[in-house]
């Protein structure tokens, strides 16, 4: 059975609630495509208004981060129960910006992944190398560690429903995009790593996205690759062009 493509927009720290509603209303007709899962991962303050604006459409709403405790004295954090209570289905975890700016580690990402599954939220777990790591030839070593530690304690049945997003750090927001061959090579390597952790059936089921300056021109070639099951899209998700990415055929 073919894996259904999943195309998610990661809004990052953009869009006030009123701007978010206007953007959803603009994008709703442009992203109508039942052949793919369309997810808007939005800032916490935008989740409820975006959820309301997206009603009746094919848009699913995700969060950009989540803490690994149920509740408590964690000022500024958002809990899984808060997300599920308003209908959130996906959460981006371990994005390179979270790792770089907020000191997230493979171990804390793993805690969040486990907690997301516990609450029925699908994690979009990010991984990716720096330009220096790629030039040193350690890309797959680094990414395999991110995947193996990030998935510790995750069952095969859970893993089959997960999403892994490969985002080369050197291609995020830089305008640079990994070549189709580079993206496919790493996504294939991630699938092989999942097969090692679990089995071939789990590896065949898990969805692996490519992210990193994905745009309307590159989407079709990237998504046609055997091991690339859609994209995690940054800047282009804030523009009407996102409709072209979603309808890449």
CA distance 117 to 73: 22
pLDDT tens per residue across all 249 residues of the chain:
689 999 999 999 999 999 999 999 999 999 999 999 999 999 999 999 999 999 999 999 999 999 999 999 999 999 999 999 999 999 999 999 999 999 999 999 999 999 999 999 999 999 999 999 999 999 999 999 999 999 999 999 999 999 999 999 988 877 777 899 999 999 999 999 999 999 999 999 999 999 988 899 999 999 999 999 999 999 999 999 999 999 996
Instruction: Report pTM.
Output: 0.96
Residue 95 designated active-site = yes
**119 is an active site residue:** no
Taking the CA of residue 172 as centre, how many other CA atoms within 13 Å lie in the half-sphere pointing to its CB? 24
Domain 5-246: what homologous superfamily?
Aldolase class I (3.20.20.70)
Q: How far is CA 107 from CA 94, 152, 162, in A?
A: 10, 9, 17
Q: Which of 107, 119, 167, 181 is catalytic?
A: 167
Catalytic-role residue among 70, 77, 95, 196: 95
DSSP assigned state of 30: T
């Amino acid at each position: 059975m073919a894996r259904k493509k999943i195309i998610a927009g990661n809004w990052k720290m953009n869009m006030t609630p009123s701007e978010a509603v206007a953007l959803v209303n603009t994008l709703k007709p442009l992203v109508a495509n039942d052949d793919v899962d369309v997810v808007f991962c939005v800032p916490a303050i935008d989740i409820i208004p975006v959820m309301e604006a997206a009603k009746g459409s094919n848009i699913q709403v995700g969060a950009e981060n989540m803490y690994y405790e149920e509740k408590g004295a964690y000022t500024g954090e958002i809990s899984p129960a808060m997300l599920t209570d308003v209908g959130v289905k996906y959460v981006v975890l371990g994005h390179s910006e979270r790792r770089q700016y907020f000191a997230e580690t493979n171990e804390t990402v793993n805690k969040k992944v486990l907690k997301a599954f516990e609450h029925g939220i699908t994690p979009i777990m990010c991984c990716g190398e720096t330009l220096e790591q790629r030039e040193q030839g350690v890309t797959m070593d680094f990414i395999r560690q991110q995947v193996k530690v990030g998935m510790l304690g995750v069952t095969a049945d859970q893993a089959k429903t997960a999403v892994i997003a490969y985002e080369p750090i050197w291609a995020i927001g830089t305008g640079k995009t990994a070549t189709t061959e580079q993206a496919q090579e790493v996504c294939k390597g991630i699938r092989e790593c999942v097969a090692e952790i679990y089995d071939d059936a789990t590896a065949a089921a898990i969805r692996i996205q490519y992210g990193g300056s994905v745009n309307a021109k590159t989407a079709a070639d990237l998504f046609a690759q055997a091991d690339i099951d859609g994209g995690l899209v940054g800047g282009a998700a804030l523009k009407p062009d996102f409709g072209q990415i979603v309808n890449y055929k």
